[in-house]
A and B are shown apart, each in its own frame.
Chain A
Amino acid sequence: MTSAGPATPPRALAESGKPLARLSGFARHAMAIASADLLKLKRDPTELFTRAVQPLLWLLVFGQVFSRTRAIPTGALSYLAFMAPGVLAQSVLFAAIFYGIAVIWERDLGIVHKLLVAPASRSSLVTGKAIAAGVRGLVQGVIVFIIALLLGVHVRLDPLSVLGVGVAVFMGSALFATFSLLVACVVKTRERFMGIGQLLTMPLFFASNAIYPITMMPNWLRAIAEVNPLTYLVDALRTLMVMGAVSVTGVPLDFAVMGAGIVGLIVAAAWLYPDLAR
């Protein structure tokens, strides 16, 4: 080969077709993408704090007022305790759903092109993005979690529950961010993306169990809520986070739905990601 100069890189590792080597290559590439993304967050964490404002309003204003009406049947829970995990899920959704804008930005520059000519697989690139989004969500989740605690919500603080909340927040962020990336791959421009992002967030939020139980819903809305992944995120968070909360859908199903959603979305996004460079 023409590159038979003094410095042909060792390529044996990644070129061997063994499943284990491929898997470790996949993981290394995904982590490379994720850590580059998280370096940026570390350098400029302001967005985490500005994004904490909205959940604070929901809990302090909306939550306080609706607690007084007692119009929403939340069983043994106070309304504030009922909605706190919903607001946490909402903050995860609202942050993650605009993740695709960063990808469009990378396309408008030429960063996507650079990534796509690297030997890393498309699915590892997309997975790296999902992991980065998961960690971002987690950091933000901590802030909302603390706000809920300060407002006197009876939060479960045993390590296993806290860990479960963390995993759910991570998965929810990864899921909606990958969905957002998928949308970005289809619409490709910032203007269209912003429109669609706005269009998606509110229906996803209202057609879920975030601020009222599914049992209150008319049948048609309930049918939508039952296929809305946000419902499963909220159910997992509510069960694991709030003392006395009872799961409606079942926590194992919650995690299964989110897991399957992430895998399906990553496969689809990896398939469409190369379109960004065409």
Chain B
Amino acid sequence: MPAPESAIATDGLTRRFGDRVAVDRLTLSVTPGAIFGLLGPNGAGKSTTIKMLTTLLPPTSGSARVSGFDITTEPARVRRAIGYVPQLLSADGSLTGAENLMLSARLYDIPRAERKPRIAEALAFMGLTEFARLLVRTYSGGMVRRLELAQAMLHHPAVLFLDEPTIGLDPIARRSVWERLQQARRQFAMTILITTHDMEEAEVLCDTLAIMHAGVIAALGAPAELRSQIGPDATLDDVFAHFAGGAITEGGSFRDIGRTRNTATRFG
């Protein structure tokens, strides 16, 4: 198979929930090896986009290819090529870190002989080796996030999807997550797509940003490009306010807010 030109390519990708259009004819392309940030207020369609690209949610219309595979007709191949860390807490608190990783290793068909070394490698990479045998419910928020990244990267995916990867984390834990992601990209030539509404995260981590608003992309470009479009001294916050038409925290359903806070509490 020829190498795909885009790690992710969507064409008119649309998802409706009843009358509401969550994602409206989204067409975008992500270069292999890039860290791509989807920015937007709650309810802009970021999570819906990720859910479609990770095959969790079928699109209403349009199409997308991830790592060269069609999300609708080849979902099994897409799943094999990607890793995903949902916004919610996806590590199992009643298992140890090592047991969580073993479950992933088995579900991703990592051969028996390779499982132990691969798990040890992932734990070391994420700085979790000494905590491997502790129950995850005793972990700090940052450790849980790093474990979830380890789980999502254990099979060395071509594309990694992260939904709000540092939400609810303290500044030190956030930085530590960013460093691992940058290192992972360099080491494994991975493409990473994140959603965020943290401007610092977008600035530090992402090569390209797409600002989503009401299901469509309102602006697209490198962080510096977007800033220069607004003015010489513009910050990303200004860019965001300009394109997403208001404050970052505006919008979002009661359920979204509840979930975000729950996630943050569980990390605490």
Interface residues of A (CB under 8 A from B): 1-11, 13-15, 25, 28-29, 31-33, 36, 39-40, 43-44, 108-111, 113-120, 274, 277-278
Interface residues of B (CB under 8 A from A): 1, 3-4, 7, 32-33, 51, 54-57, 67-68, 76, 79-92, 94-95, 99, 102-104, 106-111, 114, 148, 151, 155-159, 187-191, 262, 266
Contact at A114–B151, with CB atoms within 8 Å?
Answer: yes
Contacts A1-B4, A2-B67: A13 and B109 contacting too (C-beta < 8 A)? yes
CB A34 to nearest CB in B, in angstroms, measures 11
Contact at A117–B79, with CB atoms within 8 Å?
Answer: yes
Contact at B109–A2, with CB atoms within 8 Å?
Answer: no
| Number of interchain pairs (Cβ within 8 Å) | 125
Contacts of A116 in B (CB 8 A): 56
Pick the residue among A1, A3, A25, A278 that contacts B56 (CB under 8 A).
Answer: A278
Q: In whole angstroms, what is the CA distance A109 to B84 when docked?
A: 14
CB A1 to nearest CB in B, in angstroms, measures 6
- Determine the residue in chain A with the shortest Cβ distance to B7: A2
Contact at B84–A2, with CB atoms within 8 Å?
Answer: no
- Determine the residue in chain B with the shortest Cβ distance to A116: B56
Contacts of A117 in B (CB 8 A): 54-56, 79, 82-84
CB A240 to nearest CB in B, in angstroms, measures 34
CB A6 to nearest CB in B, in angstroms, measures 8
Q: In whole angstroms, what is the CA distance A51 to B149 when docked?
A: 37
CB B189 to nearest CB in A, in angstroms, measures 5
Contact at B106–A110, with CB atoms within 8 Å?
Answer: no
Which 9 A-B pairs rank lowest in CB-CB distance, beginning with the nearest? A110-B88, A32-B106, A3-B158, A110-B86, A2-B32, A110-B90, A114-B90, A118-B107, A113-B86
Pick the residue among A4, A10, A36 that contacts B189 (CB under 8 A).
Answer: A4
Contact at B109–A119, with CB atoms within 8 Å?
Answer: yes
- Determine the residue in chain B with the shortest Cβ distance to A32: B106
CB B124 to nearest CB in A, in angstroms, measures 14
Pick the residue among B56, B95, B108, B190 that contacts A2 (CB under 8 A).
Answer: B190
Q: In whole angstroms, what is the CA distance A28 to B79 when docked?
A: 17
Pick the residue among B7, B94, B104, B189 that contacts A118 (CB under 8 A).
Answer: B104
CB B93 to nearest CB in A, in angstroms, measures 8
Contact at B189–A277, with CB atoms within 8 Å?
Answer: no
Contacts of A277 in B (CB 8 A): 51, 56-57
